Each structure stands twice: as C-alpha cells, then as structure tokens.
Amino acid sequence: MLEKRTELTWQEPRMRLRLLTTFLAAALLLPVASYAQTGTAKSDSSLYTELPDNTSGAIVPVDVRDVVASKASIFPVTSFAAAGSTQGTATVLTASFCVITSGTGGVEATTGYTEVWNATSAPINVYPPASNAQFEAFGNAIPISVAAGSSVRVAMTSTTQGYVR
C-alpha cells in the first residue's frame, strides 16, 4: 500500500529541525571552505609560535587577569591607592576592574560590579558604596577584608544591597 506523502511546512517540528541542521552545517563549513581556498595550510609548529607572548614554541597558559588587563582592552584595569579607615574616608573606586597598588586602609566599591585585586603587602578593606549599604547581611558600612595578593568581586544589586564572591 502506498502512503500519501504530505509536504512539510516550516511550522512543523521536523522541518524546523531539518532547517536548523542545514544552517548549522553551512555555518560550520563556510570557514573551512574559505580557509581551504587560500591554499596556505599552516603547520602545527607555526600555530604554536603565533600565540601571543610566546617565543619558545610551547603553549603557555595565560592568566585571565592578564587577558582582561592587557590583551583585550575591553575592560581597562585601573590602579588605585587604598586610604581611610571608615566607609566615609576610604578611596572611592571609579572603575569596574581595580588593582590596589599602594596605601593602607580601605576602598569603596562602585554601585555596580567591582572586582578588586589587592597587590599590596597588607590586607585592605572594601566598603559598600554608601553608608546605608551592606554586603550580604553583614550590616551597613561594614567592610570585607581582602588579604594581600587576593581579590574579591562585589556586585551591588541595588543602592543598599551587594553580594561578595
């Protein structure tokens, strides 16, 4: 017995899957096809030596902080000096990615996302951005301590509440 064949429309799940598969295959094959047209295949050794900051030919792991700071330049890292011993007298940070390179005391986080790296030889305090703000449930204007050589991420979800990682 012969089956009646029906035409698939794009609204049917089978047709959507077929279209998605076709588009994905095309997206994956286009870069390969365009590379093959140049006719200049590269050896494995040339691929290793073309990695940034690599002159030895070996694969060198890259610290994510270095990529953020110097390779991508999407998120510039700004240096600050810690100062002050209270939320009101601490150095106010004005960037999202901050390196504390000198000073003692504390810094005040931004009202959004702040990542603080302590490059000093002493611990520093990171304060909430306002006297009525808190990290986690620590209490208003209570700082978190960041040990020398450590870092902390602070995300303020409102003007009065932030979370630390």
pLDDT of 50 higher than 90: no
Contact 103, 82 (CB under 8 A): yes
- Structure-block tokens of residue 20: 């998605």
What's the pLDDT at 145? 96
Show Cβ contacts of residue 84 under 8 Å, excluding neighbours closer than 6 positions.
90, 91, 105, 106
Average pLDDT over residues 108-124: 94
Q: If pLDDT is split at 50, 70 and 90, which confidence band does 113 have? A: very high
Q: How far apart are CA 108 and CA 57, in angstroms?
A: 43
Domain boundaries of the chain, sorted by first residue: 64-164
pLDDT per residue as tens digits for the range 149-158? 999 999 999 9
Percent over 70 (pLDDT), the chain: 59
> Is this model's pTM higher than 0.85 or not?
no
pLDDT of 60 higher than 90: no
